[in-house]
Structure 1
Amino acid sequence: MTTSKPTRTARRGRIFPEIQWTEEQFAKWEAEREEFYQRCKPIFDKVSSELIETHYNWFVAVEPDSGDYFVDKDLELASLRCLEQHPTKIHYSCRINETGVCGTI
């Protein structure tokens, strides 16, 4: 008596379908992102000018509605400290240096 193995077809491609955004949806998302950045930028500029000498290349997480910011050597710890204080808010994270980023491309 022989047993037959079931033949399975391999799944190809992505498990989840790609998100298809319309131009209007993408433009709305871009505008919201830019508005959020413009709210966070003044707080980051103030903090970076104060802390650039003592905390160079550390990370800062900014919550724009309250104006709170959290500084740490580790990006995840700065973000977690921000989330502990403001669990339902979105925050902006960047590096404390001249450009606010980790490097150049």
Structure 2
Amino acid sequence: MTNPKPIRTVRRGRIFPDIQWSEEKKSQWKAQQEAFYQRCKVIFDRVKPELIKTHYNWYMAVEPESGDYFIDTDELTAINKSRQYHPNTPVFIFRINETGIAGTI
């Protein structure tokens, strides 16, 4: 005789309910991300006019602390180039075009 299948309880909700950010921490994180973007955007806007003529729709990884940027046709290759010189620093990815937007939603 076979055993009946146990009734499975579907659990809904957060995976880690103990880890919850307060609204203050969320807004602080968003402000840090926006500040990082603004520092990178200054570098992107400075070099965009020259690069848009020769490297249209390429990707550009910007490291704002040193002001370095790395360009390539592939997004991951540009990130890897930046990690060779700056291994533990975050970068922001731009696409060399009129808008600078690298991804789609």
Query: How far apart, CA to CA, are the structure 1 residues paired with 2:104 and 2:81?
Result: 27
Q: In the superposition, relative to structure 1, how do residues 89 and 103 fare at CA in structure 2: closer, same or farther (>3 Å)?
A: closer
Indicate the SS of the match to 1:52.
Answer: helix
Match of 1:88 in 2: 88
C-alpha RMSD of the superposition: 2.6
Higher alpha-carbon deviation: 69-78 or 30-39: 30-39
Instruction: Identify unmatched segments of 5+ residues in structure 2.
Output: none
Deviations 1:12-64 (A, max 9, x none): 45783365321100110011011111111110011211100100000000000
Matches of 1:29 and 1:104, distance apart in 2: 22
Percent identity (aligned): 49
Q: 1:102 to 1:61 in 2, by over 3 A?
A: closer
Q: State the match for 1:49 in structure 2.
A: 49
Counterparts of 2:82 and 2:30, CA distance in 1: 24
Summarize deviations over 1:41-92 as a string: whole Å, max 9, x none: 1100112111001000000000000000000000000011111110110001
Contact between 2:58 and 2:96, CA under 8 Å: does it hold in 1? Answer: yes
Query: 3-state SS of the aligned residue for 1:16?
Result: coil
**d(CA) in 2 for partners of 1:15, 1:33:** 24
Aligned residues: 104
Q: How does 1:63-74 map to 2 (within 5 A)?
A: 63-74=63-74
Question: What residue in structure 2 maps to residue 62 of structure 1?
Answer: 62
Unaligned runs of 5+ in 1: none
One-letter identity of the residue aligned with 1:58: W
Q: Which amino acid aligns with 2:50?
A: E
Q: TM-score, normalised by structure 1?
A: 0.81
1:77 aligns to what? 77
